[in-house]
Amino acid sequence: MEIKTVEEFQKIRASWGEKLLILGHYYIPDETILLTDRQGDSLALSQFAAANETCDAIIFCGVHFMAETADILANSLEKVAKRGGKRIPVLLPNMKSGCPMADMATMAEVDDCWRRLGEIIDTEEILPVTYVNSSASVKAFCGRHNGVVCTSGNARRVLDWALTQKPRILFLPDQHLGRNTAIEMGIPREEIVMWEKVAGAPADAVRNAKIILWEGCCPVHNKMEAGVAESLQREKPEARLIVHPECEQEVVAQSHSAGSTAFIIKEIQNAQSGDAFIVGTESHLVDRLATEHPELEIQHLGEPHPCEDMGLNTPEYLFYALEQLENGTLKNVITVPDEIAADARIALENMLKLG
């Protein structure tokens, strides 16, 4: 059978009841987010996947690394054993929806960096920390070294903990989240070093470093410019500038506040009628906030910047995922191999323990 309309989708979705969990990241298009059961930022969605006890399948409207994370958490050895050996399939509606930032840290590059760092300092001194926007293999690398995952919602808490474990951190793959968090923690700039994939970093700088940043960034948030923020604020001095910490440091430094997507949404929800905001994050979300809050003045930080990969989660692809479940012909299942999942789970659980 083929699902062609929202009505057909809803009828079949209703027949699945609690046996199906449809998750949606805040950056997916409005027409699709309306059809999801739970919405959230990366942290909330991984927690929903970890906590669910009733469903037989998850459809994850987001990007590849998110579905991998849901698979790792929903199919731990204990959970699978408790279900009598049954795995919960995690479906990604559009298999092309990846994350360019996650792709900026391949395992070959991370292994090469670790080996070269080991020629300068003892890698036993380094705790690897990866932003959740990374491949399962990079999370597994962190797990193998007793490291941890973080999200934009808990990066500060995670890095505070990481520095109680080891004197230095290798932060993957988002240099901006790493730098912004380190600066917020009061780490001096000379102790924050960028590791370039080819050039590496000067040996003296590495020896002096508390945080070694990976050379990655989100191509969406990286487009937001400090100069544009400055001129928009000059035009509208009463507006509050709120930005995501995936933006570069010069943008975050000018903002009134910076935080995860959930934080940005909360700031908007708590505003008073007539308040004005310039919002520096992904444009599907900013447009939705503007529609939902006509009592506020909400504008983008410059041109709207949509995440094209999130945009691939159209209703038609969600219909296609449900069709696969209904027909028993699963094609879009994201499965992390057991040995990678086991190590990645260590790093994810280290994060979840911190709350």
**Which residues would be at the binding site for ligand SF4 (CB under 6 A)?**
27, 63, 99-101, 133, 218-220, 282, 307, 309-310
**Does 42 sit near ligand 13P (CB under 6 A)?**
yes
- Applying CB under 6 A, the span of 38-46, 70-78, 106-114, 296-304 interacting with ligand 13P comes to 38-46
On whether the CB atoms of residues 240 and 276 are closer than 8 A, the answer is yes
Q: Does 218 bind ligand 13P (CB under 6 A)?
A: yes
Smallest separation, CB 99 to ligand SF4 (Å): 3
The alpha carbon of residue 219 and the mean position of all alpha carbons in its chain are separated, in whole angstroms, by 13
Please report, for residues 153, 238, 270, the alpha-carbon distance to residue 273 in angstroms, rounded to integers and kept in the order given. 26, 13, 10
Binding residue for ligand 13P, selected from 36, 97, 181, 260, defined by CB under 6 A: 260
Tokens of 24: 């949606």
Contacting range for ligand 13P; rule: CB under 6 A; set: 41-49, 137-145, 222-230, 342-350: 41-49
Least separation in angstroms between residue 309's CB and ligand 13P is: 8
Closest to ligand 13P by CB, 193 vs 265, is 265
CA dist 221 and 305 (Å) reads 8
Q: Which is nearer to ligand 13P, 193 or 242 (CB)?
A: 242
In the complex, what is the shortest distance from the CB of residue 76 to ligand SF4, in angstroms, rounded to a whole number? 25
CB of 225 to ligand SF4, least distance (A): 16
Surface-to-core class of residue 295, CB atoms within 10 Å of its CB (0-12 exposed, 13-18 middle, 19+ buried): exposed
Distance CA 347, CA 207 (A): 25
β 257-258/211-213 pair status: unpaired
Helices 64-74 and 136-144, axial angle in degrees (round to 10): 50
Site for ligand 13P in 111-170 (CB under 6 A): 133, 151-153
Site string for ligand 13P, 164-203 (x = CB under 6 A): ----------------------------------------
Residue 309 binding: pick among ligand SF4, ligand 13P, none (C-beta 5-8 Å cut-off by kind): ligand SF4
Q: Between residue 314 and residue 343, which ones bind ligand 13P under the rule CB under 6 A?
A: none
Among ligand 13P, ligand SF4, none, the one that 140 touches (CB under a kind-dependent 5 to 8 A) is: none
Give 55 or 99: the residue with its C-beta nearer to ligand SF4: 99
SS3 track for 208-272: CCCEEECCECCCCHHHCCHHHHHHHHHHCCCCEEEECCCCCHHHHHHCCEECCHHHHHHHHHCCC
Residues 6+ apart with CB under 8 A from 24: 32, 33, 35, 36, 38, 39, 40, 61, 62, 313
CB 323 within 8 A of CB 14: no
Amino acid letter, 298:
I
With respect to ligand SF4, which residue has the nearer C-beta, 102 or 209? Answer: 102
Of 344, 325, 293, 317, residue with least CA distance to 63: 317
Q: Which does 151 bind (CB under 5 to 8 A by kind): ligand SF4, ligand 13P, none?
A: ligand 13P
Chain position whose Cβ is nearest to ligand 13P = 41
CA distance 109 to 100: 15
Q: Smallest distance from the beta carbon of 91 to ligand 13P, in angstroms? A: 18
- Window 50-109: residues binding ligand 13P (CB under 6 A): 99
Tell me which amino acid residue 253 is. Answer: A
Residues making contact with ligand 13P (CB under 6 A)? 41-43, 99, 133, 151-153, 218, 246, 260-261
